[in-house]
Structures are given as C-alpha cells and as structure tokens.
A and B are shown apart, each in its own frame.
Chain A
Amino acid sequence: AQTVTQSQPEMSVQEAETVTLSCTYDTSESDYYLFWYKQPPSRQMILVIRQEAYKQQNATENRFSVNFQKAAKSFSLKISDSQLGDAAMYFCAYAGTGNQFYFGTGTSLTVIP
C-alpha cells in the first residue's frame, strides 16, 4: 500500500506571511494524483488543490500553490499571504490505481495575528 508522510505535526505562520507544508509519499506507480485537503474546526474536509502526476506544471489556486517533485516523491503546499481563515488541519492525500485515497496524518496550521 502507498504511504503518505507529513512530517510536521504542527506549523505556525504570521498573518500575511508565507508558509510551506511538507508531504512525501511512497509509490511505485507512475500515474497518480495528489491532493491537499483542509479541515477547519468545523470538521468539514475541503479540497484545496489537486495535482496530476503526469503534469510537470505545479498546480495553483489563488494563494495556494504546490511544489511537486516527482522524482523526490515530494508534494509540498505553499500558502501565501496567510489569513486567519487558513488556520486548520491540512491533509495530503494520494490516489493511484488502487481506487483508494491514502491520507497523511495531517499538519495543524496556526495563523498568528
């Protein structure tokens, strides 16, 4: 089974600053998809950004962007101009041919006013 590792249980960032959350994964597949989900205190899991492994271009959604390094099996999330509403748990997820999502253990992000 694939594994997804988020090595930072907790991170903090000053409001308006930039923060990067790390994610690595282990797979032998060449075609797969990677996701970042946000889980605020309301518990709702919300998709932040999605990356297709066959695309070299890094995905971007407004203030959120990824640094996808396929050879290194790394998929980090960069949040620019951090806002108080960005405070949440962030989960990295992998989806390959196995018809399952594999989630990391999450990173709790605190935004300091």
Chain B
Amino acid sequence: DAGVIQSPRHEVTEMGQEVTLRCKPISGHDYLFWYRQTMMRGLELLIYFNNNVPIDDSGMPEDRFSAKMPNASFSTLKIQPSEPRDSAVYFCASSLNPPGGGDTQYFGPGTRLTVL
C-alpha cells in the first residue's frame, strides 16, 4: 500500500481565500483523523471519522473549518476564509481500529499551509 496520501504538500495562499486539503487513507482503514501541528500548540486533533461519519469534531477551531469524507478513500479539510493564524502543518492519519483498541495511526506526509 502507498500509505496515507495527502495533497498538496505545500500550499501558500492569501488571507481570505478558500483552502482545501485532501487525504486518501490506507485502503481498508475505517478511521481517519485530521491533525494540525504548530510550534505553539503541538499536535492537535481536529476531527476524526469512522466509516466516513464524523465522530468527534470538538477540535475544529471554528466555523471556518469544515471536513468531509464522501467515501472510504477520500477526505477533505476546508478552511474558508483562511487567516494567517491558520498557518500550520496539517496531517491526515488513518487506522484500522479505534485508538482505544491500541491500533497504530499511520500518518500522511502532511500539508504545510502558509496564509499570507
């Protein structure tokens, strides 16, 4: 398997623009996670899905952020409108079973987002 695939790897945009980040989980993995990593706050869980259904979105910072998983092989994280404080590395991860079952999460390479 190719692992978790994310695109784009780098995104530079201007404040106010819409940004869409994409993720393809490992085939057969039922759980998908979106994380944000910053120097100040470290790794934060934004939202996770089970079988394409959002289970916990309490980490989503505000209404400007939205995530979807229309099918088992694709998820998007959208920021609209983007702000400079959204600049971070966004990771997607997937796992076969829930974290409580001790399953390893496999991470994608991340998208480095810069909002000017």
How many A-B residue pairs lie within 8 Å, measured between CB atoms?
50
Measured between beta carbons, the chain B residues less than 8 angstroms from A95 are: 99-100, 102
Highest count of chain B CB atoms <10 Å: which of A46, A47, A99: A99
Main secondary structure of the interface of B (DSSP, over half): strand
Interface size band for A? 20 to 34
Interface size band for B? 20 to 34
The reply to whether A103 and B42 contact each other, CB–CB distance below 8 Å, is yes
Once the chains are docked, how many angstroms separate the CA of A103 from the CA of B90?
Answer: 15
Once the chains are docked, how many angstroms separate the CA of A46 from the CA of B55?
Answer: 25
Report if A30 contacts B (CB, 8 A).
Answer: no
Known: A42-B109, A44-B109, A45-B107. A98 touches B42 (CB 8 A): no
- Among candidates A47, A91, A96, A103, residue contacting B104 with C-beta atoms closer than 8 Å: A47
Question: Would you list which residues of chain B between 74 and 108 have a CB under 8 Å from chain A?
Answer: 89, 91, 93, 98-100, 102, 104-108
Measured between beta carbons, the chain A residues less than 8 angstroms from B107 are: 37, 44-46
Closest to A29 in B: B100
Measured between beta carbons, the chain A residues less than 8 angstroms from B100 are: 95-99
What's the minimum C-beta distance from A86 to chain B, rounded to whole angstroms?
Answer: 18
